[in-house]
Structure 1
Amino acid sequence: MKNSIIQLFVVAFILIVLGVLATPWWVVAIVAAIASGMSSYFLQAADTPEQAVVQQEDNRMTRTGELISNSASRIAIGGATVSHFLDKLSAMFKQQVASVQEIASRIERIESGNRELIDYAGQAEQTIQVSDEKTQKSRALLAQLLSQQVTLSQQINDSKEMLMSLRTSAESIGSITTTINQLADQTNMLALNAAIEAARAGDQGRGFAVVADEVRDLAKKTTDATQGIDNVLNEINKNSQNSVKAIERVAAAGEEMSHIINESSSLVEAASEASTLAANTMSMMKDTVNEYGEANQGISVNALQLRENTIHLESELSDVSEKVLSLSHQTEDIFRQLQIFELHNRNAQVQRIAKDAAKKIGELFEQAIAAGKISERDLFDFNYKPVPNTKPQKYTSRFDAFTDQQLPAIQEPILSNNDFIIYAGAVDINGYFPTHNKKFSHPMTGNYEVDLAKSRTKRIFNDYTGSRCGKSTETFLLQTYKRDTGEVMHDLSAPIYVNNRHWGGFRIGYQASA
């Protein structure tokens, strides 16, 4: 009873000290377990014979080692679970960051477009105002032109009437000249008759003949004058007719021009009304765009803040992932340090199996090289050739045909003798699995999901866990990870050496248990 109380006080004291120092919980658990075992040993040593003490020391140290191993295993399982969760969360955050960045980018483009729209709206409003001013001026000019056209039409009508009157007067003069011509003809006939009578009269009629000649000459001049007047009147009449026709054409063109001017005035009036309506609408649109821009600026600020917060959270998440990864590495170190104990738990059992298999494979490779079955150069040639039309991608190498023949004899018995082991096989330093277990070496079916699970041989496993298996040169490496199915797995590997050269590692996968 006394020893138990002392042991309790020792452990409590250590826990208090570690708590003050803000030591991680998993370190506290391990130190507490060691302190409990050691204090119990020393307290009982005083009442125990020396030989019994040695035996008890071995037993207690073994139990302490197993206790630490179990604690480390629980830490590793918890770390794997947290790491798996953080990986999923990180993927979600990356997707969210991408989405937020896309949203922010789209909002920035919207803002840019909104600013351009405001500028265009302002320019359009200004253009519409200028157009409206020009339309008003055009309407005034058309009104003035219409007024002038009306005046011109009236003047044309007046000119037409004057020409018609002139034509009528010319026709009247023509009738007068016709009468004069008739009189001149009669006078000429009388003068001719008088000349004939004067000739009959002889000398007595000689004076009368002179008068008759003068009358006849006057009649001829009268006829010539009236003929000239007729010619002039005919020309006046012809020109009057042409002028009337021209004036009529001008009048018709004037009427058409008036019609066009009226239609143009109507169109300009409609354009003016449309321009005014467009100006009012553009002004309203500009106000709406400005209001939208102000609201959008608030959204943009929020989106930028959301993006910064998301990026910050992603960074924080990355830091947490690094810490969890560091915890995983520390538990791996703990498992290696526990080699000093003769433990009998599952991890120790798998460790011995992996080391033994790695040693056998190394010796097998060395003997094969010595016997000329494969060259060391071929065995260490890590230039892989992709196998065509394989998905997931498979590769061949200069040594996989040899491993297909030799490794199953070492790998398959491990599975048949240990039903808790899921896979066991050799990988090179790049994670290339030249010869997988038979249950994972089915022919490809073309179904990606089926082939991903059942046709895993000759693939390169370069994920974080797989890549470390072949590269690790520690006596063994115990990694813990969580599958997408939810199972927590241990992956224990031991390095394979061939003629003192590191070739890869032997991997064993089994379900983790606390």
Structure 2
Amino acid sequence: MFGFKKSNVNLDNNYEKKSQKKDISLLVNNEEKIVDKIGNKISETDFVVENLILTINSISQYIEVQLNSINKVVEEIDTYSSFAEEVSASTDSSKDIYSQTLKVAEEGSEAVSESIEAMVDIEKSVNYSKSVVNTLSTKAADIHKMLDGIKEIADNTNLLALNAAIEAARAGEAGKGFAVVASEVKRLAQRSMEFVSYISDTISEINESIQDTTVAMDETIERVKNGSDISNNTLAVFKRITGAINESNNVTEEIATAVSTQTESLEKIMTSTDDMNRTFENLTFSVETASLNTQYTKTSLKSLYKIAEDLKVTTKDLLDSIDAESKKDTVLRTCIGSCPNNYDPAVFYDSELVDLFSNLHSGIFIIGESGDILPGIAKSWYVKEDNLTWVFNLRKGAKFHNGKEISAEDVKYCYERLLSPKLKSPNSWVLEDIQGAEGFRNGFSSSVSGIEVLDKYSISIKLSKPYSGFLLNLAQSFCAIMDKDELEKGNIVGCGAFILEEKDEKGCVLTSFKDYFNGASYIDKIVVKFGKEKLAQRIIDKEYDFAIISNKEDMDKIKNKDNLCINTNILMGTYYAGFNLESKSIFASNAQLRKALNLAINKKRIISELLGGMGEEAKGPIPPSIIDNSYLSDITYNPRLAEELLRKNKAKGSTINILYRDTSDDILFNKITKYIIEDLTDVGISCKLIKVPVSEYLDPRSIKKCDLCIGRWLADSGDPDNFLQPTFNPANVANLSRYNNPLVIEKLEEAKALINPNKKLQLYREIQQIIIDDMPWISLYHPKAAVAHRKGILGLRLNSLGFINYDNIIVR
């Protein structure tokens, strides 16, 4: 089918033989197409302006809400300020009351102290009285004893008087006088007995009174003691009251100080709020001005669109008036590195095929020359307030290659097909952030809950968590939108700039899709050959009109050819030497030693001698086409410093095991390995090769055998998360170093949810610096690629993902 002869467009005749006329039919074709594309781009810009107007209106509404909120805050602050003043006044009153209460409490404490002293004196007096009464009781007892003696004497005297009377009676007349005496003595003894009995009764009564007095005194002493205890307790209470009052007074003073400070802060807040009010008023004015200017822009674009339509008509009239021969198809020839197993974009994973599939298919977005997204099938889009739900508005009239109009149902079907467990696409990860995607992919649900068709031309996609990089995922070729009805029949019908006209195992033919939503391509056909054998020579021999060059050998052969042009670009990729951080090597546990090896490797020599300049020395892991690396410090080749660090850490003469692909020494990875070994040997490191088959090189079991491996990572999109998550998250097998820093994972998740591009960029810069400090990689270089083409071809611009949008190619 494919003879791959020279192209139908004789570029040499156009530019090398100046005497011949230019191909008028080609000029007519280019003029028609460029006018048509101008109209499409103006229309596309109009969509963007509409989106901008909606955004500005939303901002205006949010500002109004914010202003109202600020005014409410001001009112609340005023109220709170008044309340704070009242609290301050009440606090001052409380301080006065506390002072008075403290004075009363101190006076009460003094009175209780005096009462306690008086009670002590009473207790002493009562105790003294008790001792006197006790003495009196003792004296009364002594008197009672004396009375007992007197009573005994009286009894004896009475007995003697009785005996004397008896004797006087016996004496007769002679004893009469003695009898009178004896009678008087008896009467005296009887009266003594009476007095003794009376005195004894009186003393008994005194004793009883003394006992009663003693009991009363004991009770008085007990009550005095109780009163003293109560007074002591009262004194303690007064002391606690005094302490509490003092403490309350201190707290009140602290409250007063805090209220005073808070009042000052409130005054500052009031000032700041006034500033915010003025700022928002200025912002409102700016937004209104921007809205007005945007409306003017929209009006101008509408006028420009009408002019473009007029230009299209007049150009057609002009071109119709030109006597040009019937135009032949403009055909260009090129090649790609491999042959696709099938032409279903949902399942391809070979990076060599991106060039082909990105031109056969389109999605909601397409990837531009800088790697950023451009409107594809979607003319506009926005995210709702929840920061999760994205709404996409499709272009009306956009068509598939079979002429059928594209609808939101086709989009939903293609996304669910990509996630389907039946398809088992290796690319389903790009949609894993959609709500319900995981359950659907695991067969737990019949549809993806986060994808909803709003109407024929609108679809919403709700994410499980905020992720602004999701839009870049939708621009991937494997997120292409295809005809739902044809897919159900097993046919692949896309909507890209080119239609697959023919194909076999040697190559394929792409034909311009005349109804492409971005305007038909300038080139009618592109013949693509599979394989890059003898690439440079075939470009020189004009078998190919253009081709992508990615190695030194081909570049050396064509770089000085006068009839060829070369355009280069840095790709979103990094070649690196990765440390196995789970190995027992001293390099796995010491970042300073890893830095020493980094300093020991001459990256410039690798780029110059192995790549022929087709690379840029890496400062860090992230390619500069994703995040500008000018803020990073260079880790330049410095073997002397490397040796110093090795000696300092006692690693001079150590051995490192390097994983090696057991195949030809001429493959690039093995050449790089050889250069690294030479540099490490020069600083005193012994290198041992661990050879494994190429097919097993990236196997985790192979990585475990080594201390260092040589790898490469190419980004799928320009999203930093898309580059960092696979290579530095321990949950992913592509993290060959088994690097595990929780802070990096935390910051990656934080950055993933950010919408603000400046904050997002700053956070990714911080993440890259952390990784560089930990040094799980020796970042070697970021590869470059070039597109070589014959003179007279324009628009061959290689983007940072390494492919070309064929619809921009123009033959002069």
* TM-score (ref. length: structure 1): 0.49
Q: Which structure is higher in helix share?
A: 1
Considering Cα pairs closer than 8 Å and 6+ residues apart, tell me whether 1 or 2 has the greater RCO.
1
| Rg (Cα) greater in structure | 1
Q: Which structure is higher in strand share?
A: 2
* TM-score (ref. length: structure 2): 0.33
